[in-house]
Amino acid sequence: GAGVSQSPRYKVAKRGQDVALRCDPISGHVSLFWYQQALGQGPEFLTYFQNEAQLDKSGLPSDRFFAERPEGSVSTLKIQRTQQEDSAVYLCASSPGQGPSYEQYFGPGTRLTVT
């Protein structure tokens, strides 16, 4: 079966541009997470969706970051007016349930480079 997919895999943006990163979770998975992974670091939580509801967005670093999952399936992470510090790999994960015991399945990530 298909796993979590993310597109694009690589994105180069000039400083100040807006970008949109897409995540296709495993079909039927209730929970969806976004993480930011800087080079040589562990991931950091950005936001969490349960179906279409964004239940936690406390990890979004600024109001330039916005995420949505309007139909409870595909999710988009949008970054407005990109800055160099936004350069990172953005990981998406989905999970069949909402509790912490459920395994999170990760996508391959989108590597964003802001020049």
Partner 1 sequence: AQTVTQSQPEMSVQEAETVTLSCTYDTSENNYYLFWYKQPPSRQMILVIRQEAYKQQNATENRFSVNFQKAAKSFSLKISDSQLGDTAMYFCAFRPDSNYQLIWGAGTKLIIKP
What's CA 28's distance to the chain center, in Å? 18
Q: How many CB atoms lie within 10 A of CB 113?
A: 13
Q: How far is the CB of 20 from partner 1 (least distance, A)?
A: 20
User: In angstroms, rounded to a whole number, what is the distance separating the alpha carbons of residues 81 and 18?
Assistant: 5
Nearer to partner 1, 17 or 54 (CB): 54
CA dihedral 14→73→43→97, nearest 10 degrees, is: 170
Under the binding rule (CB under 8 A), the answer on residue 48 touching partner 1 is yes
Under the binding rule (CB under 8 A), the answer on residue 59 touching partner 1 is yes
What's CA 60's distance to the chain center, in Å? 10
Chain residues 5-24 in contact with partner 1, contact rule CB under 8 A: none
Nearer to partner 1, 12 or 55 (CB): 55
Residue in 42, 53, 71, 84 binding partner 1, rule: CB under 8 A:
42
Under the binding rule (CB under 8 A), the answer on residue 34 touching partner 1 is no
User: In angstroms, rounded to a whole number, what is the distance separating the alpha carbons of residues 15 and 3?
Assistant: 32
Provide the binding-site residues for partner 1, judged by CB under 8 A: 31, 33, 35, 40-45, 48, 55-56, 58-59, 89, 91, 93, 98-101, 103-104, 106-109
